[in-house]
Amino acid sequence: MSKKSLPTTQKQGKARLGDQIRSIADRLKQETDIQIKVTSKILGAAAQIAENHDRLITEVVDMVESDLNLESQVSQKHIYTIDILKQQFKTLRNAKAHFNLKVSSWESLVNKLNAPSYQISIKQHKTQSNQIYTNNAENYLNDIEKLIIFLEPDVAEMFPNSEAVNEALRFLIRLASKNCF
């Protein structure tokens, strides 16, 4: 009798083992499907990041060009006349305060402002301002470059935007911390 019950027990054990293997296979398939979806979202997000990077670089270049154009226009405007100063400042007192100069007439103010020594100080101030602006722009670009991630084209076409990439990365982080890859 024990011989007849043994095969039944073996069949039940094999059936349970088969069920466990199928269950594990199903879970692995689900995890694989999730990983594929996450990876595609990461790739889409990376593509969006690359697109945003190009847009930011273009914006920075446009800003620098605009500032350079403005500077060249300003440098051409440093020839002062009495009429221009009167229009801009209305009173001699306001003009003197703006330029921080001591003069007794509009004519003496124009002479001081158009004097070569005053023009040199304007150029020095502009050079210092440009250096500060250049340093700030370089720091900004360096900060942007630290945030940039480049994706291969096949990866990039899988993610529609940076939100998708971030979502996928967060999911992978949770999955990794949960499963301790």
Question: Residue 153's pLDDT is what?
Answer: 77
Q: Is the pLDDT of residue 81 over 80?
A: yes
Please provide residue 124's backbone torsions phi and psi, each rounded to the nearest 5 degrees: -65, -40
Number of domains in the chain: 1
Question: Residue 104's pLDDT is what?
Answer: 92
pLDDT confidence bin for 47, thresholds 50/70/90: confident
Rounded Cα distance between 112 and 103, Å, is 9
| pLDDT single digits (tens) 86-98 | 888 889 999 989 8
Question: Residue 144 has what DSSP assignment?
Answer: H
Q: Tell me the average pLDDT across 19-42.
A: 88
The contacts of residue 71 (CB under 8 Å, 6+ apart) are 126, 130
Q: Tell me the average pLDDT across 105-128.
A: 70
Kindly provide the b/e burial profile for residues 50-75, where b requires at least 16 CB atoms within 10 angstroms of the residue's own CB.
beebeeeeeeeeeeeeeeeeeeeeee
Question: Residue 1's pLDDT is what?
Answer: 47
| 0.85 exceeded by pTM | no
Helices 116-147, 106-114: crossing angle, 10 deg rounding:
60
Q: Is the pLDDT of residue 122 over 60?
A: no
**Can you give the residue range of the structural domain that contains 32?**
2-179
Question: Residue 91's pLDDT is what?
Answer: 92
More confident site: 127 or 160: 160
pLDDT above 70 as % of the chain: 75
Q: Tell me the average pLDDT across 144-153.
A: 71
Rounded Cα distance between 167 and 164, Å, is 5
